[in-house]
Amino acid sequence: MSQTQMMKGILDGCLLAIINGKEVYGYEMAERLSEYGFESISEGTIYPLLMRMEREKLVTSVRKASTAGPKRKYYSLTKEGEEALNAFLKRWRHLETSVNSVIKQETNGRNRENGET
Amino acid sequence: MEKLKLSDKSRKFLDDLNVYLFSSGKKEEEIKDIVEELEAHLYEAELDGKPIEQIVGESPKQYMAMISKEMNIDYTAWAKYIPIIVFGVMAFMIIGDVLEGPLSYSLLQIIGTIVTCLLFIFGVFITFRYVSYHDLSKKVEFMMIILPISISMLLFILIQIVNRIYETPSVEIGGLGSILLGIIALILLIGMSLWGKTAVMLVVLIALHLPAILLSLTTLQEETQLISSIVITYIIIGLYFYGTFKKMKKEEKSV
């Protein structure tokens, strides 16, 4: 798996998590992602992902007028979306534990060898 | 649709995306959906003072391709457009020819016309796709779009020339049949104009034939008739485009 592919899978999961809370529209999602530290990702990246998730019936959308400005497309999770989110969380926690233990064990060892603390 | 106030750069990106997706054969409603969504996003982003690169990334092309990949190709629309364009061109031809007398088409003319129409459609679509995907100056864009149009024009002329040299089996249609076919062609053109909400085909049709018919009723010399009918044709078409252009400008300003 290339780095970008891995990143996409993670972004998918993060979007599902953000949508899970409450109905959100694209711009809001992008803002939230950036607040969480994903500011290096261009905001538009979310739309192809949302399109695919909508096609796979993980999310549904509804268009609503906003008080000022353009109509917004609000997304919410479907039952399949919730399942996909749970599956992602499980995969992520497993990955997180594995990566953390690798880092903990292996880099500590290297730091000792190099005489660093 | 009322257009939002956007920077020229964002507007150009949305226009390019629209043309790119359309010429890639994507579904019209899906295109409208994503373009509207991105328009809303760009609008809010610009209010917050973000540059367009922060939304579409460093390469708008790559981003356009990413979106395109997530969309289905609309084969039913293609199945609709192609016959409409082919029949439209044939209807145009038939009406012009009926005015000259009973119809007679050779196999070469019929097949040649269909093939040229298909080449024209694909040529235009591929060019539009290329132009929207690449950053070109307006001049180069214009030249590129002219290319498939002039190639198919040349092909049409070539068919007529080859048709005189080589004889292929031909279909002869009697007087009554010709008139009937002419009426069907006319109804088809009117229907297409209503569907496309544009009178351009009918205006060109009238501009091409009506002056000559009316002038033939006068006692003017044949040469004078010919020259004035050509001049009148150009004047009518020119006035129509000028009027349409002015109307478009006015609409743009009122937004």
Name the minimum distance, in Å, from the CA of B198 to any CA of chain A.
29
Q: Is residue B147 part of a domain?
A: no
Given an 8 Å threshold on Cβ–Cβ distance, is A72 in contact with B40? yes
b/e sequence B141-179, b meaning 16+ C-beta within 10 Å: beeebeebeeebeebbeebeeebeeeeeeeeebeeeebe
Check CB contact under 8 Å for A44 and B55.
yes
pLDDT range class, residue A1, cuts 50, 70, 90: very low
Residues of B in contact with A26 (CB under 8 A): 37, 40-41
The answer to whether B80 and A111 are in contact (CB under 8 A) is no
Amino acid symbol at B13 = F
Query: Per the domain annotation, does B244 fall within a domain?
Result: yes
Query: Tell me: the pLDDT tens digits for B34-65?
Result: 999 999 999 999 999 988 988 998 888 899 99
CA dist B108 and B213 (Å) reads: 29
Question: Is some CB atom of chain B closer than 8 A to the CB atom of A52?
Answer: yes
- CB-based contact, A48 to chain B, within 8 Å: yes
Is pLDDT above 90 for A19?
yes
**pLDDT by position in tens, chain B (length 255):** 456 788 888 999 999 999 999 888 888 889 999 999 999 999 999 999 988 988 998 888 899 999 999 998 887 777 777 887 788 888 888 888 888 778 888 888 888 988 988 888 888 888 888 888 887 777 888 888 888 888 888 998 898 888 888 888 888 888 888 888 889 988 988 888 888 777 777 888 888 888 888 888 888 787 888 888 888 888 888 888 888 778 877 766 665
Whether A27 sits inside 8 A of B41 (CB atoms) is yes
Rounded Cα distance, A71 and A39, in Å = 25
Domain membership of residue B57 (yes or no) is yes
Tell whether B57 lies on the interface with A, counting CB pairs under 8 A: yes
Q: For B182-206, give the DSSP string.
A: HHHHHHHHHHHHHHHT--HHHHHHH
Is B34 within 8 Å of chain A by CB? yes
pLDDT digits (tens, 9 = 90+) for A34-75: 999 888 889 999 999 999 999 999 999 998 887 767 888 999
Is the Cβ of A73 closer than 8 Å to some Cβ of chain B?
Answer: yes
Contacts of B53 in chain A (CB under 8 A): 42
CB contact under 8 A, B70 and A69: no
Nearest to A43 among B36, B39, B54 (CB): B54
Q: What pLDDT score does B231 carry?
A: 86
Q: Considering only the top CATH level, what class is A3-113? A: mainly alpha
CA-nearest residue to A74 within chain B is B37
Cβ contact, residue pair B70, A43, below 8 Å? no
Beta-carbon contacts below 8 Å between A and B: 61
**Taking CB atoms and an 8 Å limit, are A27 and B63 in contact across chains?**
no
What's the sign of the alpha-carbon dihedral A21, B34, A47, A37?
A: negative
A30 touches chain B (CB under 8 A): yes
Residue B124 DSSP label: H
**pLDDT at A69 (0 to 100):** 74
**B102 CB contacts (<8 Å, ≥6 apart)?**
B172, B173, B174, B175, B177, B178
Q: How far is CA B55 from CA B38, B51, B63, B216, in A?
A: 9, 8, 10, 63
How far is the alpha carbon of B150 from chain A, nearest alpha carbon, in Å? 37
Residue B209 lies in a domain: yes
Task: Please report, for chain A, the start and end positions of each structural domain, with discontinuous segments joined by +.
Answer: 3-113
User: Does residue B21 sit within a domain?
Assistant: yes
Domain that holds residue B233: 198-255
Calculate the average pLDDT of chain A.
86
Q: Which of B69, B54, B47 lies closest to B13 in space, CA to CA? A: B54
Mutation target for B interface from A40, A50, A51, A56: give the one with most B CBs within 10 A.
A51
Contact (CB, 8 A) for A20 and A32: no
**What is the side-by-side strand order in the sheet with A72-77?**
A24-25, A72-77, A59-64
The string of pLDDT tens digits covering residues B214-243 is 888 888 787 888 888 888 888 888 888 888
Query: Distance between CA B56 and CA A43 in Å, rounded?
Result: 7
Could you tell me if residue B183 is inside a domain? Answer: no
As for how many domains chain B has, the answer is 2
Residue B117 falls inside a structural domain: no
Closest partner CB to B43 (pick from A25, A47, A70): A70
